[in-house]
Amino acid sequence: MEATMHQAKSQLSRLVKLANEGEEVILTRGRKRMPAAKLVPFEPIGEVTAFPAFKNGKRPIGLYKGQFEIGPEFFEPLPDEEIALWEGRNDDKGSGKIS
């Protein structure tokens, strides 16, 4: 089945139901109806509470204690170049343009 973005906004529940029933749902964009996305069913892996660590429904404090270490370099300030990348800049002027 093919649906426009407008149809997807107003009929999302119905389209998700169709995808879960095995029908291929393609979302299209624009007047030319260019394919933009495909809805596919999601296969659940079970409830989070099914894991032994969550048996009472709460995450215990210290769940991952002793399983990894964070070195002192983690707390050091980031270099200016990396901060610029996180902020979406990769030039010296900080224009915000990504090339």
- Residue 28's Cβ-count burial label (10 Å; 0-12, 13-18, 19+) is middle
Phi and psi at residue 90, in whole multiples of 5°?
-135, 20
- The secondary structure element, H or E, covering residue 6 is helix 5-10
In a 3-state reduction of DSSP, which class is residue 33?
A: coil
Residue 44, SS3? coil
**Is 0.75 topped by the overall pTM?**
no
Taking only the tens of pLDDT, the chain with its 99 residues reads 999 999 999 999 999 999 999 999 999 998 889 999 999 887 766 665 556 666 666 777 787 888 888 999 999 999 999 999 999 886 655 444 554
Write down the domain spans for the chain. 2-39, 48-86
